[in-house]
């Protein structure tokens, strides 16, 4: 009886070792009956478990990688794409003013020449039907003096009369849409660019956020 009891205990310990060291995903665990066979399935089960585990880990890594790539594309598109929802509206993005020059955007009139040469992160959108246009760009603090020399400050009375045609895009601030609020001048400095529009001679305005070194142009 004692011998049988020891044998039974040994079999159970062996089974516990199998459970702890093998991961039979998609297959059954070795049973006590399997251990009695001349060719137990412990090795087979263990190998299958390890291979299955590696396969699943590889798939998880692949899914995470693809998800991260798609998320990155989504973020880029959301920050760059045209969200106006209007027909005839065209959008362009330039890393720098020099890139806009090289691609003919300045010569074509869509990017004005009065932007500082150091301007970067430039968003440009225009409506071919109405010739309305919107531009957003960043600039280094060192460009401030030259910018102030180029633009004519607007009086508060004129600022209150300005109404900006609605544009819905992530890079254009919501407070520069429609009729401007009374306290808007506390956030932006408003100027007249002194440059007529490329096609119809419309006035072009610029609102400068000096704190964040970002400017917005519209016509």
pLDDT, tens digit (0-9, with 9 covering 90-100), for 159-197: 888 888 767 889 999 999 888 887 898 899 999 886 654
pLDDT computed for residue 68 by the predictor: 59
pLDDT of res. 162: 83
Sheet holding 205-209, edge to edge: 89-96, 120-127, 133-138, 214-218, 205-209, 189-192, 152-153
Q: What is the pLDDT of residue 24?
A: 45
Cα–Cα nearest to 137, from 99, 85, 187: 99
pLDDT of the residue at 15? 56
At which of 58, 79, 100 does a domain end? Answer: 79
What is the predicted pLDDT for the residue at 39?
47
Asked if 61 and 142 sit in the same domain, the reply is no
Are residues 91 and 61 located together in one domain of the fold?
A: no
d(CA 156, CA 123): 27
Domain endpoint, select from 46, 79, 112: 79
Dihedral, CA atoms, 195, 198, 202, 203, nearest 10 degrees? -20
Backbone angles phi, psi at 2, to 5 degrees: -65, -40
Q: Say if residue 148 is in the same domain as residue 70.
A: no
Are 72 and 88 in a shared domain? no
Q: What is the pLDDT of residue 49?
A: 52
**Same domain for 113 and 204?**
yes
Same structural domain, 106 and 182: yes
Question: Which three-class secondary structure state does DSSP give residue 92?
Answer: strand
Looking at 79, 112, 133, the residue that finishes a domain is: 79
My answer on whether 158 and 130 are in the same domain is yes
Please state, in angstroms and rounded to a whole number, the distance separating the CA atoms of residues 116 and 140.
9
Q: Which domain holds residue 203?
A: 81-218
- 62 and 92 belong to one structural domain: no
| Number of domain units in the chain | 2
């Amino acid at each position: 009886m004692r011998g049988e009891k020891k044998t039974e205990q040994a079999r159970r310990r062996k089974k516990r070792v199998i459970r702890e060291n093998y991961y039979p995903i998609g297959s059954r665990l070795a049973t006590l009956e399997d251990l009695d066979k001349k060719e137990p399935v412990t090795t087979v089960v263990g190998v299958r478990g390890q291979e299955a585990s590696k396969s699943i880990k590889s798939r998880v890594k692949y899914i995470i990688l693809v998800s991260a790539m798609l998320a990155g594309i989504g973020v880029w598109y959301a920050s760059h794409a045209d969200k106006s929802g209007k027909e005839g509206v065209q959008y362009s993005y330039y890393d720098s003013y020099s890139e806009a020059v090289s691609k003919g955007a300045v010569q074509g009139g869509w990017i004005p020449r009065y932007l500082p040469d150091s301007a970067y992160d430039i968003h440009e959108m225009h409506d071919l039907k109405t010739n309305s246009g919107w531009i957003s760009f960043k600039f280094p603090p060192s460009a401030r003096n030259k910018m102030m020399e180029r633009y004519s400050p607007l009086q508060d009375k004129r600022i209150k009369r300005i109404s900006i045609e609605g544009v819905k895009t992530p890079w254009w601030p919501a407070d520069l849409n429609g009729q401007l609020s009374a306290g808007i001048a506390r956030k932006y400095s408003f100027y007249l660019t002194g440059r007529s529009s490329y096609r119809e001679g419309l006035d072009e305005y610029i609102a400068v956020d000096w704190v964040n070194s970002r400017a917005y142009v519209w016509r």
